[in-house]
C-alpha cells in the first residue's frame, strides 16, 4: 500500500491527480488507507477517473495486488451533474453509490451535522447505563463507567 501512496503523491506533484480540498485554504485529501481498504478522493471528471485507473494498474504491475472491480464503488458530491456521473461510471466501469452509510461502524454524513445527528450515541449510552445505579458510585466510578460504555459503543 505504501507504493500506491507514493504513486498518488507523485501524480499530485506532477498535476495529473487533483485531490479534494477540505476548505478553501485547507489541506488536500487524496487518499486514506485502512487495513484492506482504501478511499481515494479526486475531482469528479472522466480524466481523473482515467488517472485513478492508471495508477491502480501501475500499482498492480509492481505489487501484483489487484483491485476487486466488483467491490469498487464511487460516491459523487450532490453538486456533480448527473451527466458527468454517468459518463464517468460508464467509461471506467465504476459502480455508483448514493449513500456512504457507515464505514468501520462510524456513520459518514452528507449533510450538515446537528445536535440531533448524534442522538443514536446518546440512546446507546442511555441504554447501556440503564441497568446501573450510578448514584451509588463515587465520581471516579461514574466517570470510569461512562468511559467504558462509550468505548464499547462502536462494537
pLDDT of residue 95: 84
Low-confidence residues of the chain: pLDDT under 70: 103-107, 109-111, 153-155
89's grid cell: 461510471
Please report, for the chain, the start and end positions of each structural domain, with discontinuous segments joined by +: 2-107, 115-152
pLDDT of residue 19: 94
Residue 151 and residue 54: Cα distance in Å, rounded? 41
pLDDT of residue 55: 92
Amino acid at each position: 500500500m505504501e507504493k500506491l501512496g507514493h504513486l498518488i503523491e507523485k501524480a499530485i506533484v506532477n498535476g495529473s491527480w487533483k485531490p479534494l480540498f477540505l476548505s478553501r485554504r485547507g489541506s488536500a485529501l487524496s487518499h486514506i488507507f485502512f487495513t484492506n481498504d482504501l478511499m481515494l478522493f479526486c475531482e469528479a471528471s472522466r480524466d481523473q477517473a482515467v488517472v485513478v485507473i492508471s495508477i491502480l494498474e501501475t500499482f498492480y504491475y509492481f505489487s501484483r495486488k489487484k483491485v476487486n472491480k466488483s467491490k469498487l464503488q464511487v460516491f459523487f458530491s450532490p453538486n456533480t451533474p448527473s451527466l458527468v456521473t454517468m459518463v464517468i461510471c460508464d467509461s471506467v466501469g465504476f459502480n455508483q453509490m448514493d449513500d456512504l452509510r457507515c464505514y468501520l461502524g462510524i456513520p459518514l454524513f452528507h449533510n450538515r451535522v446537528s445536535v440531533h445527528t448524534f442522538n443514536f450515541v446518546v440512546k446507546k449510552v442511555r441504554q447501556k447505563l440503564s441497568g446501573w445505579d450510578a448514584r451509588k458510585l463515587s465520581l471516579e466510578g461514574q466517570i470510569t463507567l461512562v468511559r467504558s460504555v462509550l468505548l464499547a459503543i462502536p462494537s
